[in-house]
Structures are given as C-alpha cells and as structure tokens.
Amino acid sequence: MYYIVFHKDFPHQDKRYFNSAGGAKRSATCSNRNAGRQVYEVLAETLFMIKYPVGMKTVKNLMTGQEIQIAEDTPYCCDPSTERYWSM
C-alpha cells in the first residue's frame, strides 16, 4: 500500500508517493511548515483515487487528426496532441 502526500488545491499536480504512513506524515508536516499553513494532506492511495478521480480531456491527435480522450494528468511527453510525443 502506498500513501500520497498532495496539495489540497491541486491534488493531481503536486503529489508524492511513500511506502509508509510515517514517512508520508513527516513529509506533509515539513511541507506545511515550509508553506506556513496547512495545504498538504496525506491519504492512502486507494482513498485518494476514490476522493479525487482523474477526469478525462479530449485532444486532437497530431498525426491522424482524430479526437481522442486522455487522462487530465497525462504528462506532455505522453500526450499525442503534442509534437514532443511524436518526435521521441
């Protein structure tokens, strides 16, 4: 089981994975101390996926021109609507 430390306002952008709950809690405490307020939270991976499901977005494939759906948190290097994807 993994534990995720994430920013409450942007849960899918800034998240870190930990093997232990203690490590995740220490990281969240340190991050909150550096931020000056409580903005980081810890959840088990399964609870995180239930509470913050990943949405889908429609993009246009550069090579075929077809519209396809990909996850919102897909990195640019794996997004077929970017030139970086096709030049790798």
pLDDT per position as a tens digit, 63-87 = 999 999 999 888 889 999 999 999 9
Does residue 46 sit in the same domain as residue 65?
no
Domain count, the chain: 2
Does residue 7 sit in the same domain as residue 30?
yes
Q: What is the pTM for the complete model shown?
A: 0.69
Distance, CA of 72 to CA of 14 (rounded, Å) = 14
- Residue-wise pLDDT for 17-53, tens only, equals 999 999 999 999 999 999 999 999 999 999 999 998 9
Does residue 35 sit in the same domain as residue 22?
yes
Domain that holds residue 16: 3-51
Does residue 10 sit in the same domain as residue 46?
yes
pLDDT at position 80: 94
- Residue-wise pLDDT for 53-64, tens only, equals 988 999 999 999
